[in-house]
């Protein structure tokens, strides 16, 4: 959620994979620094950080990011199930 009122939701699995590939800390407090408002960037030319991040239920309108290949995905699932 941005100060301008714009909000966006992301597919959680693709977002997780992006953070893994970039080796970014996925703690919500630190993850906030990786996001910025596209509308404010278009209007002002500056990256405006969100005022808050929230966990919400996935929906069909989420922004889709690339998923890992099937082998990598299965390896990640097995780490979390163990």
**Nearest in space to 14 (alpha carbons), one of 58, 66, 51:** 66
**Is the model's pLDDT at 79 over the cut of 60?**
yes
Question: What's the pLDDT score for residue 36?
Answer: 92
**Is the model's pLDDT at 82 over the cut of 70?**
no
Q: What is 5-58 written as a DSSP string?
A: S----B-HHHHHHHHHHHT----HHHHGGG---HHHHHHHSS----S-------
pLDDT tens readout for residues 4-58: 999 999 988 899 899 999 999 988 888 889 999 999 999 999 999 999 888 888 8
pLDDT tens readout for residues 48-64: 999 988 888 888 889 99
Query: Quick check: 2 and 43 in contact, CB under 8 A?
Result: no
Distance (Å, rounded) from C-alpha 45 to C-alpha 51? Answer: 18
pTM: 0.76
């Amino acid at each position: 959620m941005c100060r301008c009122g714009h909000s966006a939701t992301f597919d959680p699995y693709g977002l997780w994979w992006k953070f893994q590939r970039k080796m970014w800390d996925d703690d919500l407090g630190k993850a906030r620094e990786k996001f910025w408002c596209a509308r404010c960037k278009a209007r002002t030319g500056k990256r405006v950080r969100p005022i808050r991040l929230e966990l919400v239920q996935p929906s069909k309108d989420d922004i889709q990011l690339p998923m890992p290949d099937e082998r990598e995905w299965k390896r990640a699932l097995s780490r979390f199930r163990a």
